[in-house]
Structure 1
Amino acid sequence: MHLYGTQSVNNHGHLTIGGVDTVDLANMYGTPLLVYDIALFRERAKAFKETFKKAGINAQVAYASKAFSSIAIYEVAKQMDLSLDVVSGGELFTAVAADFPREKIHFHGNNKSYTELQFAFDEGIGCIVVDNFLEIEMVKEISEARQEKMNVLLRVTPGVNASTHDYITTGQEDSKFGFDLKNGQADDAFLKLYNHPYINLLGMHCHIGSQIFETDAFRFAAVALMNKMVDWREKFKFICSVLNLGGGFGIRYTVEDTPLHPSAYVEEMEKVVLEMTRTHNYPVPEIWIEPGRSLVGDAGTTLYTAGAMKEVPGIRTYVAVDGGMSDNIRPALYEAKYTAVTANRMVDPHSDKVTIAGKCCESGDKLIEDAYIAEPVEGDIIAIFCTGAYTYSMASNYNRLPKPAIVFCEDGQHQLVVRRETYEDIIRLDVPLQKTEHGVSS
């Protein structure tokens, strides 16, 4: 079996993360429980930053926090001197609560509201990544009314079809995100912002998709954006000071996945940019990237407790756990694949083929269809690896199930950073019906 980061097996035959026994964690905090290996997060962040440093290129590595947002993870990102990519007022509010450096916050999103944009101005954030023409007008209106400057990037779609799932491909021409480079939209957007007294247009941004294993797509995107930068210099004497090439770097969920080391993606970007700036005598822009999944994905492990079991002779054996699609929608939404182990019996043969099913009232609530674990016993602690990205951030209260607790582990220490929801939390926003003799009050 493949272990990740600081994971190991102790003398009791238990899975450990960050030097902490996962069985102890399950007993202390209950299950489902999402456990983060913070040392692995730090290692990945450092690798991205050092690759740019070695090349002598000015860069910002921004944590794409839609993968997993919380005050605590923002505080770790701040410790690592990362920038921060937020995509909503809620994520921005969380960043403010974490006292994240405002000048290092980049605000994304394809339908930012006027209120959200005002919030960004209120906080004096570092950059707004403008996604559409309505947003251009709103940013201009707010900046003019306040007579306050704002840094802006234009999000563009470079026409690159990355080899990934349709739902997580974003760089092709038919996308809800950004201005198309090929049909003239990007030029129209540029002209609306160019030379505006309160808009500081830094450059361009693109994001071509998620869970990408090859570097070719990043190369094609970088070439497309650099060509447009050269074009704008020739036509308007405008120099882009920032080139943001997004994220989407793949991680290993199963043995079939073959991700590259984080530095490989960065090195390919650097190579293209340096080649083209030399060819066109163009000033080397500051490069920004936005890793999310590649920072937190395989740093996260979800612990469940095995419950009911059902054997369908000749077909499959179901092992039900105390979570499911409510805390990890990805298998149902994307047909995402995962790997599991029996955390309390790691040394036992993991040769029993089972389907790990969730407890939600849906036939499709299956976390893993072909999992190989130790011969299952009620009460086993089942660990599913690489659940750090897009699980808790996409979690719901379907069937009115409480969201799980989250624990950070590092150097033999553990800390609760998100408490488990209670039933009281679930009904906290409910408003009882106010009845009259004729029924519902008006």
Structure 2
Amino acid sequence: MSADNSPVLAPEWLAVPDDPNDLAAGVWPITAHRTGDGELNLGGVDASDLRAEFGTPLLVLDEEDARARAGEAHRAFTRAAASHGTEARVYYAGKAFLSVEVARWMIEAGLNVDVCSRGELEIALAAGVPADRIGFHGNNKLVSELVRAVEVGVGTIIVDSDVEIERLGEIASRFDAVQSVLVRVRSGVHADTHEFLATAHEDQKFGFSLPGAERAVERIREFDGLRFLGLHCHIGSQIFGVDGFRESAARVLELHARLLEGGDVPVMNLGGGFGIAYTRADEPTPIAELAGDIVAAVAEECFALGVALPALAFEPGRSIIGPSGVSLYEVGTTKAVELDGGERTYISVDGGMSDNARPALYGAQYSARLASRSGEGEPALSRVVGLHCESGDIVVDHEYLPSDVGPGDLLAVPVTGAYCAALSSNYNHTPRPPIVAVRRGAARLLVRGETLDDLLARDIAYTTEAADPEAAGEGEE
């Protein structure tokens, strides 16, 4: 089937490629290229060699790419802040993806680490991240999590409710500690993103309203064991441009200025959410430009209010690890589906929504390329789908792939480093895939893949009866 058969079915943003084997700049990791044989190579390792060693599905992280992006983010924000006479603290948002080694990459690049669960905290600590370089988020931190955070000396806890303030004040007193905190606020700015990714509008679970935050700070300042550092506002995720950040900062700075009347407010954290390119149609703002414009906007607003520019903090996650990841799948079946307006090829792979829930959750768009070879067929409008028993199990909704893609071929889906492994599940009792890092011609396992034995071992009846087959019949008449 050729591309000419299906123009009506393709979205406007998807252009027919001159070469359905090309690797779009800005979408693939910096080391990605095709070898002389036409095979995809990541970090100096061929895709077929990765399949042979680790199997599929497989999440591959380009270590050079991740380290480079982390370093670039650190330089961009620290230089922008320094140009206005202040400093910037850059936290890697671990919720995007976190493992012990990835945490180490971030620290070595100069970043701090942001966590939002006990599990993420323990990963960061195991990686050797100094506790005072950790920020702890969450709208419902368990008492045991707060105790652990104070006990190990977490640098900053971002408080999210009046209840949490009371709990944390008591815990700090019990440990005879002084715990630094930020207060998360909802600025009311609606980020131009998916509804579930916008986090600063009023009708949602995170943070305090601006008036509520003012009252919360008054209460924090009454505790000897709590030190108020400043305000935190995160307006959403996958945001292009700076307008939303500019407006949010202006609103939060008005409260910041009022709070200075009661004491120091040394820090303002503007969160993250910086958008990246998932397809060649996306045009994200370069991080250096983004950093410069955001810091300049905050500096201008501070000048207008007559207050000193505080230290600034940012929390990039997706923009660092997202483009570094590539998912490899093996094609199982293909079928042509005739529709009004043309024909679409459905390509089924051995993964799906269990290892990438974002298309089902947010309607996220991805791209794909044949990885084990270069295709020889004409560009054909295709949809890459998973193996799960759901019609919404779509990996790549719209893509032009060579018409000769067939069973046994490897497909690669780029920009899967963020929120794919982190959101993965065992739907349909499917084991989660392994995660490997590639660098300079070598591949090493970061997170082992699950096995069927791993999954079945959690089912008590299964494990009991497997150990004692005669017990299976007990209790039957």
TM-score normalised per structure 2: 0.88
How far, CA to CA, are the matches of 2:224 and 2:124 in structure 1? 28
The 1:438–1:41 alpha-carbon spacing in structure 2 relative to 1, beyond 3 Å, is closer
SS of aligned partner of 2:229:
strand
Match of 2:150 among 115, 121, 127: 121
Contact conserved, 1:350 with 1:372, CA < 8 A, in 2?
no
Tell me the residue number matched to 1:317. Answer: 345
1:429 aligns with 2:454: no
Tell me the residue number matched to 1:369. Answer: 397
1:8 aligns with 2:36: no
Contact conserved, 2:151 with 2:175, CA < 8 A, in 1?
no
How far, CA to CA, are the matches of 1:9 and 1:347 in structure 2? 12
Contact conserved, 2:187 with 2:252, CA < 8 A, in 1?
yes
How far, CA to CA, are the matches of 1:358 and 1:31 in structure 2? 13
Matches for 1:221-236 after TM superposition, within 5 Å = 221-234=248-261, 236=262
1:395 aligns with 2:420: no
Contact conserved, 1:88 with 1:116, CA < 8 A, in 2?
yes
Tell me the residue number matched to 2:57. Answer: 32
How far, CA to CA, are the matches of 1:436 and 1:399 in structure 2? 24
CA deviations 1:337-381 (Å, max 9, x no partner) are 000000122364561222211001111111123222222121110
> What is the CA RMSD across the aligned residues, in angstroms?
1.8
Contact conserved, 1:342 with 1:380, CA < 8 A, in 2?
yes
SS of aligned partner of 1:179:
coil
Deviation at 1:247, TM superposition (A): 0.3
Contact conserved, 1:402 with 1:420, CA < 8 A, in 2?
yes
Deviates more, 1:290-299 or 1:425-434: 425-434
Tell me the residue number matched to 1:198. Answer: 225
Tell me the residue number matched to 2:103. Answer: 74
How far, CA to CA, are the matches of 2:102 and 2:67 in structure 1? 11
The 1:23–1:437 alpha-carbon spacing in structure 2 relative to 1, beyond 3 Å, is closer
Contact conserved, 1:129 with 1:153, CA < 8 A, in 2?
yes
Tell me the residue number matched to 2:296. Answer: 271
Matched letter for residue 411 of structure 2:
I
Match of 1:65 among 91, 94, 115: 94
How far, CA to CA, are the matches of 1:227 and 1:138 in structure 2? 28
How far, CA to CA, are the matches of 1:273 and 1:199 in structure 2? 26
Contact conserved, 2:77 with 2:90, CA < 8 A, in 1?
no
Deviates more, 1:89-98 or 1:430-439: 430-439
Tell me the residue number matched to 1:360. Answer: 388
CA deviations 1:195-246 (Å, max 9, x no partner) are 4211011001010000000200000111112111111123x2x221111000
Deviation at 1:436, TM superposition (A): 10
Matched letter for residue 320 of structure 1:
S
Matches for 1:282-431 after TM superposition, within 5 Å = 282-314=307-339, 315-346=343-374, 348=376, 351-374=379-402, 375-431=404-460
Contact conserved, 1:218 with 1:268, CA < 8 A, in 2?
no
Contact conserved, 1:44 with 1:262, CA < 8 A, in 2?
no
Tell me the residue number matched to 1:255. Answer: 280
SS of aligned partner of 1:111:
coil
Deviation at 1:277, TM superposition (A): 3.0
Matched letter for residue 334 of structure 2:
M
Matches for 1:161-172 after TM superposition, within 5 Å = 161-172=190-201
Tell me the residue number matched to 2:18. Answer: none
Tell me the residue number matched to 1:185. Answer: 212
Question: Using CA pairs below 8 Å that are at least 6 residues apart, which structure has the higher relative contact order?
Answer: 2
How far, CA to CA, are the matches of 2:91 and 2:378 in structure 1? 38
Matches for 1:83-232 after TM superposition, within 5 Å = 83-181=112-210, 184-232=211-259
How far, CA to CA, are the matches of 2:196 and 2:333 in structure 1? 33
Deviation at 1:305, TM superposition (A): 0.3
Unaligned runs of 5+ in 1: none
CA deviations 1:151-183 (Å, max 9, x no partner) are 1000001110010000110011222100011xx
How far, CA to CA, are the matches of 1:439 and 1:191 in structure 2? 63
Unaligned runs of 5+ in 2: 1-21, 465-470
Aligned residues: 436
Deviation at 1:316, TM superposition (A): 2.6
